[in-house]
């Protein structure tokens, strides 16, 4: 097989430029990947602000490490790896912080002070679904949470998840089945 060419504008070419210190490669690379990385971080962190921070941090980190990028790998999974690791770090920090302060979210205020009527529209049902899933995901340890996000939000194969998280295939499988069972248990509690 012929070696892959760095076509102009391809991820490889952009990564090569970035590795050589060309900042101009950052914008097209961001344009191509930022939405996907945002959704990855959002699925994991469940907070739009945190997800945005993580995406920006991920691109800065990509720029810093581009020279060390292994050209035989694809840039997309490499960026995903950066983003999921940053998401895990941030989630860990947030949890430490929340150990002391757990202010009611705006939504909670509405729920607490509302008139108790059933959800009238789709928006509220969606919010309920989102909240229940957040609650189920919160029941998971950070790596299991990452496996679920990569599998069910990013549609990655087990092998891709293993590469992204630096885990063995067997560990990914164990993590996935444990995570799904744990989420099922938690959902039973919040959605009787």
Partner 1 sequence: MILGHLGRSRQMALLAAGVLLGREKESALAHAVSCRRCRVELEELRALVSLVERDPLRDGEPSVPLAVLTRSVEREVERILVPGGRPRGWLVVVPAAAAVLVVGLLVPALIARFRPAPPAAATAPPPAVSTEALDRLERNLVREHAARYLTEAGDVLVAVAATSVDCDPPAGRVDLGPVPEQSRDLLARRALLVEADREAVASARAVLDDVERALREVAELPSCVRRRDLEHLRREVDRRQLLMRIRLMTRELEG
Closest CB to partner 1 among 94 and 111?
A: 94
Q: How far apart are CA 131 and CA 108, in angstroms?
A: 10
Closest CB to partner 1 among 110 and 126?
A: 126
Closest CB to partner 1 among 167 and 176?
A: 176
134 to 3, 26, 46, 84, 189: CA distances (angstroms):
44, 32, 7, 17, 13
User: Which of 106, 109, 129 shows the shortest CA–CA distance to 119?
Assistant: 129
Instruction: Supply the minimum distance, in Å, between the C-beta of residue 92 and partner 1.
Output: 13
Closest CB to partner 1 among 3 and 152?
A: 152
Instruction: Supply the minimum distance, in Å, between the C-beta of residue 70 and partner 1.
Output: 21
Q: How far apart are CA 75 and CA 77, in angstroms?
A: 6
Instruction: Supply the minimum distance, in Å, between the C-beta of residue 163 and partner 1.
Output: 15
Instruction: Supply the minimum distance, in Å, between the C-beta of residue 189 and partner 1.
Output: 13
Q: How far apart are CA 101 and CA 151, in angstroms?
A: 32
User: Which of 78, 58, 86 shows the shortest CA–CA distance to 15?
Assistant: 78
Instruction: Supply the minimum distance, in Å, between the C-beta of residue 118 and partner 1.
Output: 19
Cβ distance 43 to 83 under 8 Å?
Answer: no
Closest CB to partner 1 among 7 and 116?
A: 7
Structure tokens at 66: 């581009």
Cβ distance 26 to 79 under 8 Å?
Answer: no
Residues that bind partner 1 (CB under 8 A): 9, 23, 26-28, 30-32, 34-35, 38-39, 42-43, 46, 48-53, 55-57, 59-60, 63-64, 96-97, 99-101, 103, 126, 129-130, 132-133, 136, 148, 151-153, 157-158, 173-174, 176-177, 180-181, 183-184, 187
């Amino acid at each position: 097989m012929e070696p892959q060419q760095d076509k102009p504008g391809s991820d490889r070419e952009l990564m090569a430029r970035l590795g050589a210190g060309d900042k101009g490669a950052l914008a097209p690379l961001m344009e191509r990947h930022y939405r996907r990385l945002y959704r990855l971080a959002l699925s994991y962190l469940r907070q739009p602000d945190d997800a945005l921070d993580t995406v920006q941090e991920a691109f800065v980190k990509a720029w810093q490490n581009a020279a060390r990028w292994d050209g035989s790998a694809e840039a997309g999974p490499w960026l995903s790896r950066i983003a999921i690791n940053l998401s895990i770090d941030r989630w860990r920090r947030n949890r430490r912080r929340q150990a002391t302060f757990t202010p009611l979210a705006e939504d909670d205020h509405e729920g607490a002070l509302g008139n108790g009527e059933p959800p009238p529209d789709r928006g509220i049902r969606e919010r309920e679904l989102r909240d229940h899933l957040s609650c189920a995901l919160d029941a998971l340890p950070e790596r299991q949470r990452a496996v679920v996000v990569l599998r069910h939000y990013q549609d990655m194969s087990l092998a891709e998840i293993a590469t992204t998280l630096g885990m063995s295939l067997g560990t990914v499988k164990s993590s996935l089945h444990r995570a799904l069972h744990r989420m099922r248990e938690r959902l039973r509690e919040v959605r009787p």
